[in-house]
Chain A
């Protein structure tokens, strides 16, 4: 038995996964005297209706928060980092016009989302 009996009630944040492979979502928190009981209580509060396939239980004091908008959403242009920053529909049309080629069918859709929406299987 290696758990620490810290002797004070501490908040633990609980993250839950609703189905295998899904993201871990913040579910809420529990107060517990040690990690072992924190895990037990997290099970009771966030999984007793079989609504979770996995829980992560983290001491709140161990969560490092970053919510500074200067760091997370800097003011200058970052569109080169996002697919939406590359709109080339008109340029493609011009290129096709120069080359005398036709627009490929949906099957030729690739990983880029250039200029149009691709299907889920694209």
Chain B
């Protein structure tokens, strides 16, 4: 077969369609073309040229997302063993499996941007990179499993849906797949919570107590309000919405659904301000958020240590399949 590139010299040089940043131009011109494309809503593929600033920003964003999925496995996996019915056990196993699968898909995106999975996990375990605040907390009861699957996943999906239109196309495509899979988690979580509120007094207490503990971290989860103009991730359209927009969206959908069940949200200030068209709430504890995401949360160190130990114990398996054993004649 003829190598198509060998034909290049005989073809007239023509401006290469609409992706001029891929041409061999001075850096500033490339940058300008790239920026104009991205800020106008254009998409970038892994094979495109991209400025280092953009590559680093996407990588950091995707890496933290992948880390959060990987660490998010741990609070829930403790309850796979304790799931009280066969169906719940199947659903919870499938949910935790999805999180491992999502970590994998996201790490693939990061790997194609130039950072190996090995390096990503080393940095995570060394405390050099972060994971989401909600995965630094302990779980106490089956009520936590309902609240995490319903509300933590709902808060996450609000953010993830906004990422389906990310300027970085491999990430956007991955988010479409992830959002499709996560929608089932929310159904599973809501079903657990509804079953508990319809159950015994002990079960109702269990789920209310879990909500009381998780509400603070949930309100912190999207992060403090930020200045839209200064947010580079927004500028590059890596993400589409500010922290506050995501939090408002979460509250708008989920406050009514939580209250519908007779559960009490532990924030006396929480109300919808008709005039302003937004939800008012007690200012979340941003000090707590900073403490927690810098790995000083109640379970941060224990979970990282668990992963380190597990990684050491299973290292021989990775080395075995990577070492390249001679093919066996059979």
Contact = CB atoms under 8 A, between A and B. Distances in A.
B323 interface: yes
A48 B108 CA distance: 18
Contacts of B12: 70
Q: By DSSP majority rule, is chain A's interface helix, strand, loop, or mixed?
A: loop
A6 B270 CA distance: 58
Nearest to A45: B101
B327 A2 contact: yes
B4 A1 contact: no
Interface residues of A, number: 28
Interface residues of B, number: 31
Contacts of B11: 70-71
Interface string A1-27: 111111111010000000000000000
A75 B104 contact: no
Contacts of A73: 17
A55 B188 CA distance: 29
A70 B117 CA distance: 37
Interface in B283-330: 321-328, 330
A28 B108 contact: yes
A9 B324 CA distance: 10
* 9 smallest beta-carbon distances between A and B, as pairs: A7-B324, A69-B17, A33-B321, A1-B330, A5-B325, A70-B11, A5-B324, A66-B4, A1-B328
Interface of A: 1-9, 11, 28-31, 33, 37, 44-45, 48-49, 65-66, 68-71, 73, 75
